[in-house]
C-alpha cells in the first residue's frame, strides 16, 4: 500500500494573501487560515473554542486568483499536502516550517456586499459614464 499525504481544511483567512513571483515567473501566494475547534468542557459544562493558524502555499494561476479574490475573513476550503521544510536564518539558526501546499482552494462564500459576487457574470469593465458594471444602478 502506498503512503498518503493529504490535508483537507476549512477555515477563515487570518490575513490577505501575499502574492509574489519566482525568478522563473511562476506565481506563488502565501496566507494563513484559522481553523477553529469547539468542544464541551466537562468540568464547567460550557462550550470552549480554540483556533490554530495553518500556513498555506498556493502556486500558479490559482495563486493569482487567491490574491485577487480572497481577503482577510473569507471562508475557504483547502485540499493539499503537508510539507515540512527547513532553512537557516541569517543568524545561523535552523528553522522548520510546517505548511500545507494547496492543490485546490475553494472559495466557500461570496465576497462581501459591494464586491463582485460572481466573477463570471458581473462586468467590471468601465462604462461610458466612468462607473464599472458592478457600480451601476439596477433599472428596477
Q: What is the pLDDT of residues 69-112, one digit of tens each?
A: 999 999 999 999 999 999 999 999 999 999 999 999 999 987 76
CATH C-level class of 7-112: mainly beta
Task: Quote the pLDDT of residue 1.
Answer: 83
pTM of the model: 0.73
Question: For residue 27, what is its C-alpha cell?
Answer: 506565481
Listed by start position, the domains of the chain span 7-112
CB 29 within 8 A of CB 18: yes
Cα(first)–Cα(last) distance of the chain, in Å? Answer: 61
Work out the number of other CB atoms within 10 angstroms of the CB of residue 113: 6
Amino acid at each position: 500500500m502506498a503512503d498518503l499525504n493529504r490535508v483537507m481544511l476549512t477555515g477563515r483567512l487570518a490575513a490577505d494573501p501575499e502574492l509574489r513571483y519566482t525568478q522563473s515567473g511562476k506565481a506563488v501566494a502565501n496566507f494563513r487560515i484559522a481553523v477553529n475547534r469547539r468542544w464541551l468542557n466537562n468540568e464547567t459544562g460550557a462550550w470552549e473554542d480554540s483556533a490554530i493558524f495553518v500556513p498555506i502555499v498556493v502556486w500558479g494561476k490559482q495563486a493569482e486568483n487567491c490574491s485577487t479574490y480572497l481577503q482577510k475573513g473569507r471562508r475557504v476550503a483547502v485540499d493539499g499536502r503537508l510539507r515540512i521544510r527547513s532553512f537557516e536564518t541569517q543568524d545561523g539558526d535552523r528553522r522548520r516550517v510546517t505548511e500545507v501546499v494547496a492543490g485546490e482552494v475553494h472559495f466557500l462564500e461570496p465576497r462581501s456586499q459591494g464586491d463582485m459576487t460572481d466573477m463570471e457574470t458581473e462586468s467590471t469593465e468601465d462604462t461610458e459614464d466612468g462607473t464599472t458594471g458592478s457600480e451601476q444602478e439596477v433599472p428596477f
